[in-house]
Amino acid sequence: MARSLAAIVILGQGSLGTARSIQRLYPDALIYGLAERVEGADRSYQEFGATLRQLYQQDTPIIALCAAGIVIRTLAPLLLEKGAEPPVLAVAEDGSAVVPLLGGLGGVNVMAREIAAGLGVAAAITTSGELRFGTCLLNPPSGYALGDLELGKRFVSDLLGGESVRIEGAAPWLAEARLPQDQQARLTIRVGSAEREPAANELLIYPRSVLIACNGNIHGAEALREALHQKRIAVQSLACLLAADSDMAHRGLHEAAAELGVPLRFAPVASSVVELAQRAVAQLLPPLSVGDDIAIAVASQPLDPEQIGRPRGRLAVIGLGPGAAELMVPAVKAELARANDILGYETYVRMAGPFRADQVMHCTDNREEMQRARHAFELAAQGRSVVVVSSGDPGVFAMAAAVLEALHESSDPAWHRVDLQILPGVSASLATAAQAGAPLGHDFCVLSLSDNLKPWDIIEKRLDLASQADLALAFYNPISRSRPWQLGRALEIVRQHRTPQTPVVLGRDIGRPGQTLRVITLGELTPEQVDMRTMVLVGSSTTCVFPRAEGGEWVYTPRWYGNKPV
């Protein structure tokens, strides 16, 4: 999994300058500022501890501009858990000190040096091996994989104990290191793609220089592991899998890549897997074929999977929730971070941001749903990671259905091969209900009062039947300038079946700046109290209201119906 972008976390306005200097070194990093204390941060947070722990668990590198002790105490409960260990650094508010704390194998010392150089100070490096040899042997550069961490730690402590070492194979990054080298040494750093038994006197480092081209007859990683073993090639040297475009949606191949922890890339269909491999990479040695389904190719250098073929495109239709960042589900946040392209109605695209310079925003008019859906597929079919944003939930009067309709209508196989995901959000009715209490606590009916896409008489019929059935009602799109009379007519229908005392909740801009929540009765409700940014909830015959201590009312609909259970 690609590591998430760094988070620069600050507690006060005074740190923003230092934070910005660090952000210039890592333009993709986001500055997180404490709400009400910091203005002008990229993200704001309410609680320092919870935020830091969440970032850590999501494997986000953390640069905290505060005392090292605070960071240590905050993350301490997580340290015994196995799992992510991203780089964590404490930086003095005024930029005068840089202290790497955690994530030695994630490159924390490299980051500490980069930040320190940027701020014109020295990094507080305390790792013995690194101080002595000028490099962390257990953290080879990208393109290389360490064989075994535990054996590696012992190897480094033997080296620190005074032994000398020899290097077998090409390790260009060690040229600058201050290693006690000796051709006769017992300890060996061995760099190569051949399969080897681990041994205490060897530090095995594998260049990720191997590619496997395979086809749709592959289901899972087992056959690929065996093929590598048969050719005496280390599985740790595998850089990526490659398959033909036509196998893009093949589940077994995706499972194989996931099990092996390598990317799966795609190239135009070829006559054989050998040809597939040869065409994709120029500097390969002739591929070794293992049966008809697998070809293994070894390059003389580590391979960059990003340069090989292209990835499977992804299209995610996401729900932002009502507006507040805390109400956005984490899967949606992660999807926004990985997106190349963001499509949607301008207001929602802005709400989903800020975005990095490399992310492309495509803002469109709210009415061009089908066109937007087709545009999204065109981009995703090119291998891009595309997000279509909706407010609330994408499946509730929003983009998800339009996207599926566009796909259903299309006969383009490239569109059908896109990795399509629908990620839910908190819908306006649920966000409004939660603020009022539990007005939708029993059976309820969700209706859009817009007759733009459906005939008005259907709306009347549904209103009549739902009201008759004593369902609580949630009205989306209750009114607009082009639909001025419909809400009044809808209320007439509801009033035929509900008393004027029936509780009504009006939520406007819920979860957004300036939100309002009002509890009134059906008798009091007039269309003038409602606009297109309002959610209207109408209670059923059992919906109750009672005062709350801080003022206002609680509204709820009990879960029982008829006779209260004892």
**Closer by beta carbon to ligand SAH, 147 or else 511:** 511
Q: Is 510 in the site for ligand SAH (CB under 6 A)?
A: yes
Per CB under 6 A, the list member of 345, 393, 422, 505 interacting with ligand SAH is: 393
**Closer by beta carbon to ligand SAH, 311 or else 437:** 437
Nearest to 61 by CA among 18, 99, 107: 107
Q: Is 396 in the site for ligand SAH (CB under 6 A)?
A: yes
Q: Which x/- pattern over 440-479 shows residues binding ligand SAH (rule: CB under 6 A)?
A: ------------------------------------xxx-
Per CB under 6 A, the list member of 15, 135, 359, 427 interacting with ligand SAH is: 427
**Closer by beta carbon to ligand SAH, 181 or else 482:** 482
Nearest to 266 by CA among 291, 286, 289, 241: 241
Q: How far apart are CA 220 and CA 251, in angstroms?
A: 9
**Closer by beta carbon to ligand SAH, 309 or else 439:** 439
- Segment holding 128, helix H or strand E: helix 128-133
The answer to whether 504 and 539 have CB atoms below 8 angstroms apart is yes
Tell me the closest approach of the beta carbon of residue 437 to ligand SAH, in angstroms.
16
Q: Which x/- pattern over 490-509 shows residues binding ligand SAH (rule: CB under 6 A)?
A: -----------------xxx
Tell me the closest approach of the beta carbon of residue 365 to ligand SAH, in angstroms.
15
The answer to whether 210 and 298 have CB atoms below 8 angstroms apart is yes
As a three-state string, the secondary structure of 474-506 is: EEECCCECCECCHHHHHHHHHHCCCCCCCEEEE
Q: How far apart are CA 287 and CA 289, in angstroms?
A: 6
Nearest to 158 by CA among 94, 201, 193, 104: 201
DSSP 199: -
Q: Is 397 in the site for ligand SAH (CB under 6 A)?
A: yes
**Closer by beta carbon to ligand SAH, 23 or else 427:** 427
Shortest Cβ contact with ligand SAH: which residue?
392
Per CB under 6 A, the list member of 440, 535, 538, 555 interacting with ligand SAH is: 535
Per CB under 6 A, the list member of 398, 459, 491, 505 interacting with ligand SAH is: 398
**Closer by beta carbon to ligand SAH, 140 or else 425:** 425
Tell me the closest approach of the beta carbon of residue 344 to ligand SAH, in angstroms.
11
- On the 0-12 / 13-18 / 19+ scale of CB atoms within 10 A, 333 is middle
Q: Helix, strand, coil: what percent of the chain each, to 5?
A: 35, 25, 40
Q: How far apart are CA 526 and CA 531, in angstroms?
A: 11
Per CB under 6 A, the list member of 342, 418, 428, 490 interacting with ligand SAH is: 428
Q: Is 33 in the site for ligand SAH (CB under 6 A)?
A: no
**Closer by beta carbon to ligand SAH, 402 or else 428:** 428
As a three-state string, the secondary structure of 258-271 is: HHHCCCEEEECCCC
Largest CA distance in the chain: 97
Nearest to 308 by CA among 340, 346, 271, 282: 282
Residue ranges in 371-390 that form contacts with ligand SAH under rule CB under 6 A = 390
Q: How far apart are CA 304 and CA 262, in angstroms?
A: 11
**Closer by beta carbon to ligand SAH, 15 or else 427:** 427
Q: How far apart are CA 167 and CA 306, in angstroms?
A: 29
Using CA of residue 394, residue 399, residue 403, residue 406, what is the dihedral sign? positive
Tell me the closest approach of the beta carbon of residue 329 to ligand SAH, in angstroms.
13
Per CB under 6 A, the list member of 219, 512, 548, 559 interacting with ligand SAH is: 512
- On the 0-12 / 13-18 / 19+ scale of CB atoms within 10 A, 175 is exposed
**Closer by beta carbon to ligand SAH, 247 or else 393:** 393
Q: How far apart are CA 343 and CA 336, in angstroms?
A: 11
Look up residue 391 and give its two tokens.
Answer: 């407010």
Query: Segment near ligand SAH (CB under 6 A), from 175-183, 186-194, 223-231, 526-534?
Result: 526-534
Query: Segment near ligand SAH (CB under 6 A), from 131-139, 200-208, 213-221, 427-435?
Result: 427-435
Residue ranges in 269-328 that form contacts with ligand SAH under rule CB under 6 A = 322-323
> What is the identity of the amino acid at 128?
S
Look up residue 235 and give its two tokens.
Answer: 């599985």
Per CB under 6 A, the list member of 391, 486, 540, 557 interacting with ligand SAH is: 391
Q: Is 155 in the site for ligand SAH (CB under 6 A)?
A: no
Q: How far apart are CA 216 and CA 225, in angstroms?
A: 16
Q: How far apart are CA 444 and CA 371, in angstroms?
A: 33
Tell me the closest approach of the beta carbon of residue 558 to ligand SAH, in angstroms.
25
Tell me the closest approach of the beta carbon of residue 445 to ligand SAH, in angstroms.
15
**Closer by beta carbon to ligand SAH, 312 or else 508:** 508
Query: Segment near ligand SAH (CB under 6 A), from 14-22, 102-110, 245-253, 394-402?
Result: 394-402
Nearest to 349 by CA among 376, 313, 380: 376
**Closer by beta carbon to ligand SAH, 35 or else 446:** 446
Q: Is 369 in the site for ligand SAH (CB under 6 A)?
A: no
Residues that bind ligand SAH (CB under 6 A): 322-323, 390-393, 396-398, 427-428, 432, 476-478, 507-512, 532-535
